[in-house]
Amino acid sequence: MAIDVLSQSAVEIAEKINSRVVLFLEAPPKEIESRILSNTELTVVVIGPVFDVRNRRLIRLSIPLTLDRESVLNLVSAFLLEQGLIKEGESFVYVSSSEIGIRPVKRNLFAVNGFFSQSRSVVQKLLEIAIELSIEGREGHPIGTIFVVGDVKNVMKHSHSMLPNPFKGHKINVLDRNSKEIIKEFAQLDGAFIVSSRGRILAAGVYLEVDPKSLDLRLPPGLGSRHIAAAGITKLTKATAISLSESGTIRIFKNGMMLLEYNPRMKY
Ligand SMILES: Nc1ncnc2c1ncn2[C@@H]1O[C@H](COP(=O)(O)OP(=O)(O)OP(=O)(O)O)[C@@H](O)[C@H]1O
């Protein structure tokens, strides 16, 4: 099997370049995992449907499979740095059933503290919804929106409602299966959603009060007010923001920096 042969080469390469981590972009057969764990000192990271980081040598990350390769590698780099599993300047080896490569890790715009330790499944779920909204739009129109997750008390201090809050008094959680359509429907409103770190939607149609001049935002040029607001609120608070541009591009911000940029429409 291709992944069997390639994983063997990945281990050899990792040992040759003194890398500490091998990343499987798709889950390998169990015996490959156990062989690497018992015969080497390497940490194995597997991208798949399961998220489990308790075992420090066999780490399972669930990252949406629809993301492009670059974004997946960026997210994994951020994770490895954040967890202290790799240092800046070191490399990890990645492997799938059709390719193998070496990825040097840099602490760049994409590598940001705290992304993986907070509200993982909530952010993941909202990312899924943003991907669907990007591809589908709503009633024939492209949709743009912002989801702000976590540190709700502080987020509220830096925002105000632009319209009566449709979620007031309703217990709607992004992790509930049947909440997706409601969220997509209200994504047509102007402004941002405020979501607790446990996934409860507290408000929609919220204006984020962000003054970019007073914040040291390190953003790529050309982003408009929606994106500056999304980035800014993560600088002012400990929240994570997911923005969807009307152009279909999804971005994740944390600490005022962009962690991920991805346009699912590009593949269609
Ligand atoms: N501070 C803010 N808080 C919440 N929503 C905002 C804020 N600023 C702008 N928006 C929303 O973003 C929308 C688009 O604004 P603008 O075109 O300037 O942003 P953009 O970053 O270029 O977004 P897009 O790429 O979707 O066009 C506004 O109509 C408004 O709904």
Number of H helices, E strands in the chain: 7, 12
Residue 145 · residue 133 · CB < 8 Å:
yes
CA of 224 to the centre of ligand 1 (A): 7
Instruction: Indicate left, alpha or beta for 202 from its phi (over 0: left) and psi (-120 to 50: alpha).
Output: alpha
Q: What is the pLDDT of residue 11?
A: 97
- Antiparallel, parallel or unpaired: β 192-195 and 159-161: unpaired
Integer Cα distance of 8 and 200 in angstroms: 44
Q: Is the pTM of this model over 0.90?
A: no
The reply to whether ligand 1 has any atom less than 6 angstroms from the CB of 60 is no
CA of 249 to the centre of ligand 1 (A): 13
How long, in residues, is the chain? 268
pLDDT band per the 50, 70, 90 thresholds, residue 84? confident
pLDDT band per the 50, 70, 90 thresholds, residue 118? low
From 162, 206, 225, the mutation candidate for ligand 1 (largest count of ligand atoms within 8 A of CB) is 225
Q: Which two tokens stand for residue 197?
A: 């770190």
The model's pLDDT over 27-78, given as tens digits with 9 standing for 90+, comes to 999 999 999 999 999 999 998 877 677 788 999 876 766 567 877 887 788 7
Integer Cα distance of 42 and 188 in angstroms: 47
Q: Which class would CATH give 2-109?
A: alpha beta
pLDDT band per the 50, 70, 90 thresholds, residue 21? very high
Residue 131 · residue 64 · CB < 8 Å:
yes
Tell me, which fold does domain 120-262 have in CATH?
A: YojJ-like (1 (3.40.1700)
Dihedral over Cα of 55, 260, 74, 154: its sign: negative
The reply to whether ligand 1 has any atom less than 6 angstroms from the CB of 210 is yes
DSSP letters along 105-165, please?
A: ----TT--TTTTTSSHHHHHHHHHHHHHHHHH-BTTB---EEEEES-HHHHHHTEEESS--
Q: What are the structural domain ranges in the chain?
A: 2-109, 120-262
ipTM confidence: 0.97
